[in-house]
Amino acid sequence: MLNSSLKQLSALLAQKEISSVELTCEFLKRIKALNPNYNAFITINEEMSLAQARNADAIIASGDAHPLTGIPIAQKDIFCTKGWLTTCGSKMLSNFISPYDAGVIEHFNKIGAVNIGKTNMDEFAMGSSNETSFYGPVKNPWNIATVPGGSSGGSACAVAARMAPAATGTDTGGSIRQPAALCGVSGIKPTYGLVSRYGMIAFASSLDQGGPIAKSAADLALMLNVMVGFDPRDSTTLQREKEDYTHDLGKPLDGLRIGLPREYFVKEMSDDVARAVEAAITEYRKLGAKTVEISLPNTKLSIPVYYVLAPAEASSNLSRFDGVRYGYRAPKYTDLNDMYQKSRAQGFGAEVKRRILIGTYVLSHGYYDAYYIQAQKLRRLIAQDFIEAFKQCDIIMGPTSPTTAFSLGEKSNDPLRMYLSDAYTIATNLAGLPGMSIPAGFGNEGKPVGLHIIGNYFSEAQMLNVAYQYQQVMDWHAQMPFTQ
């Protein structure tokens, strides 16, 4: 059952082979056994999960079930969940019981999915290793001395260690794809604007996008079917006709043009990652695809542009945490200003403060044009590179991360080195394009390698099929770590 696909679990539920309550208990039992070692979950609430499972069983009995009714889903602790502690990995929200549900959570509730727990993450989604969480780092189940990636490290770990059949994540600069790659699971960040950001605690609003992490492309398609949808409460969601993301699964890949950006296959990529990615591309040629070399000339600018835009938007978004209406308030202070300063100094961790300071600086008087506006202009150049590239190819491939999982503590005191681990994923967020990562084998020491697939705007169904076809002939995605 641990390795079953969402479709298989759904069939077991429909045939009454198992109830949602039994399924939920099974996963809760596994979480209780494994989580002390992996720290993938911040909150487990057995009572609330089981109440949802009982409700799901009633829906199934009435014959009104959706494919994901009764399936336990791990929710990243960035999604506000009514009645649940919602911390965003921060001391600032360590006492925040959300009074409302995020749009994404509403979608899952509506179809009767079960929330199996809230997953650990880098504080306010700022990090690439899960080490900035107030709740301590998550361990990579393939090698517990290494990081799971971040910021959705808890979700990726939960799926990899089979503590949940699927999970939600969010991706601002690679936070779904990089942990999926490092943990050997599949994850997709949809086109910006497809998934509601309502109740998804904001980091950088023009880049943040929710998406699923799961064991396979077919499972991701079912998850996307639930998560995508216009939300009038998020002014950046797009009004589009509802799409079934499974509709392309099964189409042959004959004639598919895969673009290989010459800027991605460079010395920064480690040898073991390069070998696995090249082997995956060889496999795609066997499936009928052809490869074309393309160029994304402004790739190098992605990281500098991102580290202006994301901190600028974060400094604005995080100004709401003032110790007045909710969240942490310092125990001692002299006046109002002191209360703000101490609450924020004590409530935020080092990386979050660093980014707020960068953001405040680039938005401050006299610097706005030189930094923020310049970064927004370069963002357009980066997006145009992709638009040009997609005239020559249907899909772009490369490595998700330049290396496999690095050791805990290896980069945590060197923010600049940490930032470079997102070198391949950031441009996708800047352009607003969909991106995904799927397991493509193992590098040195048996650590998973992720293949990065970038599609054109709104081409999620096609991308999912591209991943699906590979997963029909290769079984990397079906392998699971030895868990203890």
Partner 1 sequence: MSLSLDDVKRVANLARIEVGEDEARATLAQLTGIFSLIEQMQAVDTSAIKPMSHPQDAVQRLRDDVVTETDQHKLFQSIAPQVEARFYLVPKVIE
Active-site positions read: 76, 151, 175
Between 251 and 300, whose beta carbon lies closer to partner 1? Answer: 300
- 236 near partner 1, rule: CB under 8 A: yes
The C-alpha atoms of residue 400 and residue 169 are separated, in whole angstroms, by 16
Question: 411-450: which residues touch partner 1 (CB under 8 A)?
Answer: 415-416, 419, 431-433
Indicate which single residue of 26, 353, 474, 479 sits in contact with partner 1 (rule: CB under 8 A): 353
- 334 near partner 1, rule: CB under 8 A: yes
Binding mask 296-315 for partner 1 (x = CB under 8 A): ----xx-xxx-xx------x
Stretch that binds partner 1, among 30-38, 113-121, 230-238, 471-479 (CB under 8 A): 230-238
- 378 near partner 1, rule: CB under 8 A: yes
- 80 near partner 1, rule: CB under 8 A: no
CB atoms within 10 A of CB 7: 15
The C-alpha atoms of residue 224 and residue 219 are separated, in whole angstroms, by 9
User: For the chain, how long is the longest CA-to-CA vector?
Assistant: 70
Give the 3-state DSSP-derived string for 287-307, with helices as H, strands as E and coil as C.
Answer: CCCEEEEECCCCHHHHHHHHH
Encoded tokens for 243: 């799409």
Q: CA gyration radius for the chain? A: 21
Length of the chain: 484
Indicate which single residue of 37, 364, 392, 444 sits in contact with partner 1 (rule: CB under 8 A): 364
Containing H/E element for 417? helix 415-420
The C-alpha atoms of residue 80 and residue 90 are separated, in whole angstroms, by 14
The C-alpha atoms of residue 315 and residue 330 are separated, in whole angstroms, by 20
Answer yes or no: are the C-beta atoms of 212 and 168 closer than 8 Å.
Answer: yes
The residue type at 419: Y
Distance, CA of 115 to chain centre: 17
Between 54 and 354, whose beta carbon lies closer to partner 1? Answer: 354
Q: Which residues of 434-453 are buried (b: 16+ CB within 10 A; e: fewer)?
A: bbbbbbbbbbeeebbbbbbb
Answer yes or no: are the C-beta atoms of 83 and 48 closer than 8 Å.
Answer: yes
Question: 172-201: which residues touch partner 1 (CB under 8 A)?
Answer: 191-193
Stretch that binds partner 1, among 4-12, 14-22, 68-76, 340-348 (CB under 8 A): 340-348
Indicate which single residue of 344, 411, 447, 452 sits in contact with partner 1 (rule: CB under 8 A): 344
- 323 near partner 1, rule: CB under 8 A: yes
The number of residues that bind partner 1 (CB under 8 A) is 69
- 287 near partner 1, rule: CB under 8 A: no
- 332 near partner 1, rule: CB under 8 A: no
Shortest distance in whole angstroms from residue 314 CB to partner 1: 11
Shortest distance in whole angstroms from residue 135 CB to partner 1: 19
- 96 near partner 1, rule: CB under 8 A: yes
Shortest distance in whole angstroms from residue 338 CB to partner 1: 8
Q: Is 162 left (phi over 0), alpha (psi -120 to 50) or beta?
A: left
Kindly list the residues in this chain that would bind partner 1 in the complex (CB under 8 A): 95-97, 99, 191-193, 206, 232, 235-236, 238, 300-301, 303-305, 307-308, 315, 319, 322-327, 329, 333-342, 344-345, 348, 353-354, 356-358, 360-362, 364, 370-371, 373-381, 383, 415-416, 419, 431-433, 457
